[in-house]
Each structure stands twice: as C-alpha cells, then as structure tokens.
Structure 1
Amino acid sequence: MTLTLAMTCAVAVGNVYFPQAVIPLVAAGLHASPDAASLAVTATQLGYTAGLFLLVPLGDRLPYRSLLVTLLALTGLGLLVAGCAPDLPTLVGAGALIGLTTVAAPVVGPLAAGLVTADRRGAVIGTLLSGSIGGMLLARVFSGSLGEWLGWRVPYLAAAALTLLLTIILAFTMPATIPPSRQSYPALLAGSLRLLGTEPDLRRSCFYQAMVFAGFSAVWTCLALLLHGPVYGMGAQAVGLLALVGGATMFCTPLAGRLVDRHGPDPVNLVCMLAVLGSAAVLAVGARGDVLGLTALVIGTLLLDIAMQSGMVANQARVYALRPDARSRLNTAYMTCAYLGGSAGSWCGVRVYEVAGWPGVCALVASLAALALARHLVALSRSLRFHPTGPH
C-alpha cells in the first residue's frame, strides 16, 4: 500500500509539472508565442490551486478510495482532451481541468500522517514527498524527451494512459476508510479559511512555502525558454535531463524529515531559506551560456530543488501537528497558499524574463527568499523572547 500511495503521489504531481518541459514545442505546434504557450502551465497550476481549496477538504468527509479514484479518472479524461486539443484555448482549458483534479498527493498526505505517531510523522512525510519528487523529475524527463521525438501531444496522451491505469489499480487495492468528519461541504470550505485566521503557525508556514515555491516555479518555467533560446540552443529534452539531476532530492527529503523529528521544523526552515538565496546566486551564472553557465544551472537547480522540498517537509510537519481532526483542511489552506505562490511565480517569471532575462529571474528568486527569511527571523526572535532557553 505504501508503494501504491507513493506511485499515486508521483503520477499526480507529475501531471502538474511535465507541461513545463514542452512549452517551446507547444508554441511551435500551435503557432503561438512562448508567452502565450506558457498559459497552459499557468492554467494547470491555477487549476491545481483551485483543486486544493475546493476538493482536498473532502478528505475529511469522504472515504479516501472513492475520492482518489474519482479524481484520477477525471484527470485522465482531462489529459486526453489536452492531447487532442486543436488550439491553444482548448489546451489551456484542459490544463485547468487537469490541475483541478490531480490533487491526489495532498489527499494522501493527511491520510498517511494520521497513521503514525507524532515522532515518526516527519519521516513519513519525507518518504511520501520522495515519491512526489520522483514523479516531478521523471515527468520532465519523460515529457521533454518524448515530446522532442514524437511531438508535444504524445506526453499528454501517455500521461492519460498512466493515470487511468493507476485509477484501476486504486479501485481494487485501496482499503476502506472511515472519514473523520461529518461536516457539510460548505462547512469544510469555511473551516480551511477559519484555520488560516486562527492558527499563526499555519499562516507562517503558508507564507514560507508560497515565497519559496514562487521562486522555484519561476526558475523551472523560464528554464525551458533559456535553454531553448539563442544562449544555449538546446531542445526541449534538455530541460528534462537537467531536471533528472534533481533526483538526489528524493534521498534528501527523508533525511529532512528525520531532522524535523529530532530538532523541530524551524531550524530546517532556516537552512532551506539560506540555501534558496545561495541557489539564486549560483543560477545567475547560468546566463553565460557556456560550459560554466550550464554547470551553474545544474548545481543551482539541484540546490533549489533540495531547499524547496526539504522546506515543505518542515512546513507540513508543523501544520499537521496543529489539529489532528482537521488535517485535510489544514493541508488545503497550506497547499492552496503554496500553489497560489507557485502560479504567481510562473506568471511573473515569464514576464521578468522578457524584460530582464535570466538574471532578472534569479533576482526575483532571491527577493522572494529574502522575504521568507525575514518573516522567519521575526518568528524565531519571538520564540526566543518567550522561551529564553531556545525555540520550542
């Protein structure tokens, strides 16, 4: 079951990220500008954000098996529509549907967190996140290489087949569960908003992830434009191969989870934010366009991936510890804010790239990380004030 849940996270998350690697191919195939083609990525991320808010709270109300099977089936249909899209508006609309329904990973997270004791929660979150990271990385490699070889439609159609196959597997293997809440759907939605107002640690976790994920999305959305453009002149599969280097992140998140279990989430957050600032400086060298620049892109994206994902482990461990009876609603609030940041980062990144190029994107990442770091230092100073022996 653990393997099945990890695969579910991998496929669901991969459906959000694989379109990033085929933006130039979509632009050429549908005779659109790269700016317009990037709307397919933005629409998927905005749809995912909407799904987090509208659908993930149902994990507190509905049996997990029926919820996951329904969501994955709808995602598969959306992918089929996208793969057959005759024009860009249809692709953008299908992308929004894909994003809306491919929220299986944040549905699985609260389920797994409730099955273990508090001192093991970080390790479990890190392990599930490894599955999500694997899906994200392999999806970019798969879509970039397959798209370069057979065209941009084939990655969408292959993802549809994989998603529908997983739907069938879950329908027969997922155990029956009893929902923890009997609240109405409007009450569940209101509960997510209410928790944002009443839980300060939830708000700061949301802010941390929104800022860091915005920078992360800006980098990966614009990376395809940089590598495909005149500076490097590489194909779409280059983005996928570069993403594959980030596979080391899969081994770092379980370690981050154990560090969270041992020392708490705050120290892990601090190190991750400093690492994002460092990654922005390294990535800026990538504007050179030579071997040194390509090496900087490899090192910088790896550092950024590790920092973003490890920070997510710390943030989710903090959030899940707040209200055991409302973990899906807590995760809804947290993930909605995170992906709002990611969607804004993709949109802003493309526009900054058009005006200031790759150095402008790196400056955007550094600015967002600095905002998160400043907020975190304020929280640490308050913690030290109330707990002179150290943060608790």
Structure 2
Amino acid sequence: MPSSSPAPHHHPHYSRATLWLLATIAGVSVANIYFNQPLLEDFRASFPESAWLIGAVPAATQLGYALGMFFLAPLGDRFDRRLLILLQLAALAIALVGAAGAPTLAVLIAASFTIGVVATIAQQAVPFSAELAPAAERGHAVGTVMSGLLLGILLARTVSGVVAQYFGWRAVFGASVVATILLAVVVITRLPKSRPTSTLPYGKLLVSMWHLVAEHPGLREASLTGGAMFAAFSIFWSVLTLLLAGEPFHMGPQAAGLFGIVGAAGALAAPLAGKTADRRGPRAVISLSIALVALSFVVFAFSGRSIAGLVIGVIVLDVGVQAAQISNQTRIYALAPEARSRVNTVYMVAYFIGGAAGSAVASLAWHAFGWTGVCVAGLAAVGLAALSHRRGRVGAESQLG
C-alpha cells in the first residue's frame, strides 16, 4: 500500500485500543452539537428578553458544524491529524467555557457557533482510522469509529436532559469542558501521529476537492447515494415528535428521545457492517441497506397507530442507514488514499445536504398528506438512493470494489 495508507506492520500503533480511542474522540466531540437541543426551554427562562431568538442557538451550532466540516476537515491531508485533534479540542474547551458562562443570549449564540465549527473533530477521527488500518480491515476500523460517533449523537440529548434537570443547563456545558480536557490528555499520551499526504497550500487544498469530484465517478455515486439515504433518515426523525403528539399516542418530546435510544441498534451494528463490507464487498452491503430502509418505511406506513411497529421500524431504519454509511465511507477511502480527508469532506457535505432536504420535504409531506405522505416521501428518497447505486459506473465499481 502507499505510505499514506500504511499496513499494520508499517504503523505499530494500529490496535483495537487506538480504534476505540478514535471512537471516543468522535462520540464526545459530536455530542456537543446536540447538547443544546433539549435545553431550549431552559434558555428561554434564562434569557426571557430574547426568547424570540432561542431557536438561533441550535441553528448557529449546525451552521458552524457545516462550515467547520468544509473549511477544517480537509486539513487532515495537509497536517498531522493528532495535532489537529488536539488544537480543536483546546478550542472546543474554550468555546464550551464561553457557553457555560454566557451572560446574554448573543454570547451563547456566538459560543454555540464556535462549538459547531471546532466540534468537527470526528471528521479527523474517521479518516484517521482508515489511514491506520490495512485495506483488509478498513471497513471494520471505520465501523468501530463510526459506532462511537453514532452513540455520541444518540445519547447526547438524553445526557443533556438529565444533567440539566438536576444541575441546570450551564452544568451541561461545564461537564463537557471537563470531558474535553480529559480526552485531550488521553490523546496526548495515547494517540499516534498521522502522516500528512499533501503539501498543497490551503486554498489549493480546498479547490482540489472539486477536482476529486470531477475525477472520481465513484465519489459522486457514493455521495448521492449517501445523501439520499440520510434524506430518508431525516424524513422519519423530523416528524416523529409530531406523530407521537397526536392521536392515539398523546406523547411529549421525551418519548421521541427514547426512540433515539432504540436507534442505538444502528450504532451497535456499525462494526458488523464494516466487517461484512471487508468480506463481501461494500457494494453488496449497500444493496442490502437500501432494501432494509425501504422495508422500514413499509413498516412505518402500517404503524401510524402502533408503538411496537414504530420501534421495529426504527431499528430496521437505523441499521440500514448506518450500514450504508459505513460501506460508503469504506469505498471512498479506497479511491484516493492521499486525499482521505478531502473525499470525506465531499461525501459528508453531500450527506448533510441530503439530511437538510429530507427535513424540508418531511415538513411539507406531513402538513399536506399526513403520515402516509411522510412514508411515501421516505420511499421516494430510498428510490433515489437505489437508482444512484444501480447506475454506478463500471469504472467506479472496479475502483471501489
């Protein structure tokens, strides 16, 4: 393999412990994006004079994450990822201190935006795992790190709500400061250095992402497939709270949070999906994943009045979406070993665009056609993913395996 993607005997630090450290880095960092979502009423109580602007807190965080993903994640090809992770952890701790002590809502919004920008540490950890692992184990390595990221996403709201209930919303950010500092200490002592694979100046590094899109049809295919799958995922999760609030459930937003814990099945399935992609090829896993997500929306369509049916559908949906995500990332990391951070950035930007589009479509479908319309929209998104996957070019298939 090229030096930018060393085999285990070339990189003595590749180990299960290193993978789980990267998984922890990904989970702890990405959780900060979701901590504020259960706290909006607490923010409203603390800043009543600015209550109309409370929604800007999660919006600023998400905007910051999108910008950080585009402008910071590609640096992993240019600099030592260990150093980048440490610098971002330090910046994250400072931003969290600002959020914890915010005297006004304006300061909290600014701190939240900064948290979003620097919490993109996961976008260094996932390509780092692909760099450390030999080709035959790359899917398993990516799946292990992604399991940490997914658990961070799924459990962040639950942890935030519990801490805020007993200690107040400022304690949520304060506890994250402590966790971030402890994690930085472990990174200093345990995480190996990475090997930069590019000497391009920063501007040319960003421009080169366009060239990667133009050069690799497989990257375009994976990005469209992944974005469509995440659109389907977002279509369901965006309206679940509305469904549960009405007949016959009459449940509050906390019930939707509990469904997030059910969705942990997807996180637990991530390493298995990675191993299967290593053995049978990622394209086969993606085909199965598309079928699973389609099946989940069929289950949802018949479960508009059934908690049990919704639970089964959530498990099938999350396993399918996360298995496709792991397999797609395994494929794109094989495309350009010297540009893994940049291909990851291209893929994740498309992924989040798909998620945003799915949320918008879900709202329109819900208000126009109700739950049935939401399920049809979800199946349409899965159909787009299937079409993209099926029409993958022969050249891309030979490159990506």
TM range (shorter): 0.7 to 0.9
Report the Cα distance in structure 2 between the residues aligned to 1:82 and 1:362, rounded to whole angstroms. Answer: 38
1:78 maps to 2:127: no
| Matching residue within 141, 144, 159 for 2:176 | 159
**1:263 partner letter:** R
* Cross-structure match for 1:373: 386
Instruction: Spell out the pairing of 1:42-121 with structure 2 (5 A cutoff).
Output: 42-84=59-101, 91-121=108-138
Is the Cα–Cα contact under 8 Å of residues 128 and 194 in structure 2 kept in the other structure?
no
| CA distance 1:104–1:215, change in 2 (3 Å) | same
Report the Cα distance in structure 1 between the residues aligned to 2:362 and 2:36, rounded to whole angstroms. Answer: 16
Is the Cα–Cα contact under 8 Å of residues 57 and 332 in structure 1 kept in the other structure?
yes
- For the residue of structure 2 that corresponds to 1:255, the secondary structure is helix
After the TM superposition, which of the residue ranges 363-372 and 184-193 deviates more from structure 2? Answer: 363-372
After the TM superposition, which of the residue ranges 215-224 and 110-119 deviates more from structure 2? Answer: 215-224
Report the Cα distance in structure 2 between the residues aligned to 1:347 and 1:84, rounded to whole angstroms. Answer: 34
- For the residue of structure 1 that corresponds to 2:228, the secondary structure is helix
For residue 330 of structure 1, report the CA deviation from its aligned partner.
1.1
Unpaired stretches in structure 1, ≥5 consecutive residues = none
* Cross-structure match for 2:338: 325
What TM-score comes out, normalization by structure 1 length?
0.84
Is the Cα–Cα contact under 8 Å of residues 42 and 347 in structure 1 kept in the other structure?
no
How many residues are aligned here? 382
* Cross-structure match for 1:191: 208
- For the residue of structure 2 that corresponds to 1:183, the secondary structure is coil
* Cross-structure match for 1:176: 193
Instruction: Spell out the pairing of 1:138-157 with structure 2 (5 A cutoff).
Output: 138-148=155-165, 152-157=169-174
For residue 145 of structure 1, report the CA deviation from its aligned partner.
3.5
| CA distance 1:216–1:62, change in 2 (3 Å) | same
For residue 81 of structure 1, report the CA deviation from its aligned partner.
3.8
Report the Cα distance in structure 2 between the residues aligned to 1:332 and 1:251, rounded to whole angstroms. Answer: 24
1:310 maps to 2:313: no
For residue 283 of structure 1, report the CA deviation from its aligned partner.
3.0
* Cross-structure match for 2:13: none
Unpaired stretches in structure 2, ≥5 consecutive residues = 1-17
Report the Cα distance in structure 2 between the residues aligned to 1:383 and 1:35, rounded to whole angstroms. Answer: 53
**1:220 partner letter:** W
| CA distance 1:159–1:344, change in 2 (3 Å) | farther
Report the Cα distance in structure 1 between the residues aligned to 2:328 and 2:63, rounded to whole angstroms. Answer: 21
| Matching residue within 324, 347, 358 for 1:345 | 358
**1:183 partner letter:** L
After superposition, what is the alpha-carbon deviation per residue over 1:316-344, rounded to whole angstroms, capped at 9, x for unaligned? 11101111111111111111211222233
For residue 264 of structure 1, report the CA deviation from its aligned partner.
1.5
- For the residue of structure 2 that corresponds to 1:182, the secondary structure is coil
| Matching residue within 27, 33, 38 for 1:16 | 33
1:252 maps to 2:280: no
For residue 262 of structure 1, report the CA deviation from its aligned partner.
1.9
1:363 maps to 2:376: yes
1:217 maps to 2:234: yes
* Cross-structure match for 1:301: 314
Report the Cα distance in structure 1 between the residues aligned to 2:286 and 2:246, rounded to whole angstroms. Answer: 35
Instruction: Spell out the pairing of 1:219-234 with structure 2 (5 A cutoff).
Output: 219-227=236-244, 232-234=249-251
For residue 66 of structure 1, report the CA deviation from its aligned partner.
1.9
Instruction: Spell out the pairing of 1:131-142 with structure 2 (5 A cutoff).
Output: 131-142=148-159
| CA distance 1:348–1:48, change in 2 (3 Å) | farther
**2:127 partner letter:** P
Report the Cα distance in structure 2 between the residues aligned to 1:212 and 1:269, rounded to whole angstroms. Answer: 10
Report the Cα distance in structure 2 between the residues aligned to 1:352 and 1:81, rounded to whole angstroms. Answer: 39
Report the Cα distance in structure 1 between the residues aligned to 2:370 and 2:48, rounded to whole angstroms. Answer: 23
For residue 281 of structure 1, report the CA deviation from its aligned partner.
2.8
* Cross-structure match for 2:7: none
* Cross-structure match for 1:268: 285
Report the Cα distance in structure 1 between the residues aligned to 2:263 and 2:378, rounded to whole angstroms. Answer: 18
Report the Cα distance in structure 2 between the residues aligned to 1:297 and 1:160, rounded to whole angstroms. Answer: 36
- For the residue of structure 1 that corresponds to 2:21, the secondary structure is helix
1:240 maps to 2:257: yes
For residue 184 of structure 1, report the CA deviation from its aligned partner.
0.8
**2:119 partner letter:** T
After superposition, what is the alpha-carbon deviation per residue over 1:285-313, rounded to whole angstroms, capped at 9, x for unaligned? 5543xxx2x22222222222111111011
What TM-score comes out, normalization by structure 2 length?
0.83
Report the Cα distance in structure 2 between the residues aligned to 1:76 and 1:308, rounded to whole angstroms. Answer: 31
Query: What value does the CA root-mean-square deviation take over the aligned residues?
Result: 3.3
